Structures are given as structure tokens and as C-alpha cells.
């Protein structure tokens, strides 16, 4: 078997078997699986690696993709599929980017109640009649199109999940933090207040910390859950340098209570963690997992989405459930 045939086999197995099976079983690699059909996974991945999330893959290469992708495109598609499989990228984010580049009308997509841990979403029947399915256009020759279409039912799985704040406690919390980010006021539970007090006491009573590092760590405490900041943003606030910020966090004795994992590079890449730097660093995957568990999202290239947090204040005390 030639190299390109081996890549084609690996790619087909990944998008048509492995990922759909993970989605249907609610694998914890993704907090939400917005799609379960094989052709949806192919669309999402190919729109990202071939279309750069700017245009549909089939506007660049001819159909079927499996016969018209070159070796590098196959390798890139497999690599992104493996990142989805490992939970290193947010599938929902990639799906939304794919739909945007295809000019989908978001109002045509409706959210249904998830079954078990898998999110099954369907389009209203009225929107289906005039739409073409992409299933036969991705990796199947045109001769198979009739067979695939004959199995089409009256319902089609939607490929866009709207994370409305009223239906998601976690996203409501994240949205509230963002809205209140200017003053970083966060209503805390009693347990949270006590934990924060203990962390502040540990910082202020540490015998070997310099005043700069104490201010750095208390400033980090003001970066709310679900947000990220950058080395440059903190250095601007502290009137120091990004290198000084990085050095101070490299020896953070209070992690993860003092959330140095919420600090990324200025270009939105992962930055450093536990002394290693970059997406290939020893602890990069752990840093991404921590951020994603808090609601921070990344694109298919590992770059963070959204604007960095800049409304810092060094926390000194906790009063009445308010971080001061």
C-alpha cells in the first residue's frame, strides 16, 4: 500500500468510524458533541484544514475529497481529527466556524434536549426541503449519491448548537464574570471566600517572596474563571516586563490556587506552563485542559478565542462575599 493510500485509509477510519462512535457514546473528550454523523465530522475538519475556516473545502478542491486531497492535506486532516479525539480542540467552535464559512443562517437551527450525554440537534423540517446534504459530497463518489439520498429521513441533524445562557449554568456564570470583569466582583460561596482568604494569607505571609511576586500573585487572583489574560497585559499593569511575569509564574508555589494557567502568549497561543514553553511543551495539554474546563475556547490551530482580560486589581481581602 502506498503512503497516500495508507493516509486515505487512516483518514476514512478516523472521520467515519472513530469520531462518530465517540460522539454517540458521549465520550468525555468533548464537553459537547454537536454532531454524530460521519459526513459532519468530515465537513468540519476539511473546512478548517483546507478552507482555513474561511471558505468551504469544496470551493478549493474537487469532490470527492478522498481522491483529491494531497498527502499534506490528508496529514493535516488526520492531525486535527486526532486533536478532536484527544480533547485538545473544541469541536463546537470548529463546527460553528465551518457553518459561518458556509453562510448558514443561524436562525434555521434549533436546539433540542440532549439524550444522555450526547447533544442531538435537528433542523426544522421546513428548512430541509431546499437544502442539499453534504454527506455524498465529502468522500463518496457521485455514483453513491442516489443511495445515500434514498436513506434520507424527514429530520436532519443540526450542526450548530447555540449555547444560550438561560440553558447553561456554566456559560451563564462565565458571561456574568465577563460582564463584571471591569471590577472583577464575583459573588463567592462561603467555601470560596474561605479558600481565597487562605490563599491571600499564604501569599502575604510567605517568607521568601519579593514584593513584586506578591503583587503578581494577588493580581493573578483577579483574573476570573472562564477568562484568560496575557503576559504582556499583566506586565503593562505591573509596569514590568513580560519576561519578569513569566519568571515569576514559573516558580509559582501556590498553583493552581493562583491561576497562572490563565496567562497566555500575546498572540493567543498557549505560552508556558510549569517551565515548558509552547504547544509542544510537556505540560501544554494540561494547561489547555484546565482552561477548557473553565470555559475558555480554542480554535483548530490552538489559538485562544476572545479578548484577554485586562481589568486587574491586586486582591487584598475578602468581605461579605466580594473579592476586594
Enzyme catalytic residues = 260
Partners of residue 323 on adjacent β-strands: 318
d(CA 199, CA 254): 8
The enclosing H or E element of 273 equals: strand 272-273
Within 8 A by CB and 6+ apart from 313, the residues are 183, 184, 219, 222
Residues comprising the chain, all counted:
324
From 224, 221, 269, 289, select the one nearest 249 (Cα to Cα).
Answer: 221
d(CA 45, CA 43): 6
Q: How many CB atoms lie within 10 A of CB 49?
A: 23
From 206, 203, 237, 209, select the one nearest 223 (Cα to Cα).
Answer: 237
From 88, 115, 126, 156, select the one nearest 26 (Cα to Cα).
Answer: 115
Amino acid at each position: 500500500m502506498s503512503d497516500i493510500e495508507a493516509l486515505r485509509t487512516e483518514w476514512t477510519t478516523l472521520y467515519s468510524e472513530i469520531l462518530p462512535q465517540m460522539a454517540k457514546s458521549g465520550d468525555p473528550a468533548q464537553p459537547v458533541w454537536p454532531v454524530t454523523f460521519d459526513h459532519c465530522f468530515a465537513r468540519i475538519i476539511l473546512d478548517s484544514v483546507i478552507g482555513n475556516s474561511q471558505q468551504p473545502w469544496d470551493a478549493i478542491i474537487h469532490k470527492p475529497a478522498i481522491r483529491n486531497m494531497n498527502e499534506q492535506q490528508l496529514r493535516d486532516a488526520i492531525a486535527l481529527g486526532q486533536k478532536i479525539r484527544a480533547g485538545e480542540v473544541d469541536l463546537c467552535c470548529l463546527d460553528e466556524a465551518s457553518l459561518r464559512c458556509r453562510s448558514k443562517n443561524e436562525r434555521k437551527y434549533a436546539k433540542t434536549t440532549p439524550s444522555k450525554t450526547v447533544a442531538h440537534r435537528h433542523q426544522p423540517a421546513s428548512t430541509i426541503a431546499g437544502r442539499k446534504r453534504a454527506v455524498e459530497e465529502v468522500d463518496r463518489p457521485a455514483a453513491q449519491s442516489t443511495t445515500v439520498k434514498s436513506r434520507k429521513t424527514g429530520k436532519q441533524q443540526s450542526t450548530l448548537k447555540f449555547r444560550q445562557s438561560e440553558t447553561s449554568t456554566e456559560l451563564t456564570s462565565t458571561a456574568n464574570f465577563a460582564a463584571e470583569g471591569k471590577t472583577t466582583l464575583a459573588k463567592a460561596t462561603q467555601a470560596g471566600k474561605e479558600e481565597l482568604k487562605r490563599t491571600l494569607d499564604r501569599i502575604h505571609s510567605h517568607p521568601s517572596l519579593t514584593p513584586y511576586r506578591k503583587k503578581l500573585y494577588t493580581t493573578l487572583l483577579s483574573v476570573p474563571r472562564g477568562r484568560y489574560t496575557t503576559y504582556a497585559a499583566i506586565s503593562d499593569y505591573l509596569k514590568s516586563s513580560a519576561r519578569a511575569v513569566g519568571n515569576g509564574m514559573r516558580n509559582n508555589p501556590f498553583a493552581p490556587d493562583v491561576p497562572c494557567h490563565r496567562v497566555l502568549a500575546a498572540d493567543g497561543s498557549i505560552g508556558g506552563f510549569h517551565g515548558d514553553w509552547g504547544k509542544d511543551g510537556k505540560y501544554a495539554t494540561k494547561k489547555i485542559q484546565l482552561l477548557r474546563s473553565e470555559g475558555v475556547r480554542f480554535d483548530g490551530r490552538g489559538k485562544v478565542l476572545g479578548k484577554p482580560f485586562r481589568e486587574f486589581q491586586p486582591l487584598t481581602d475578602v468581605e461579605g462575599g466580594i473579592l476586594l
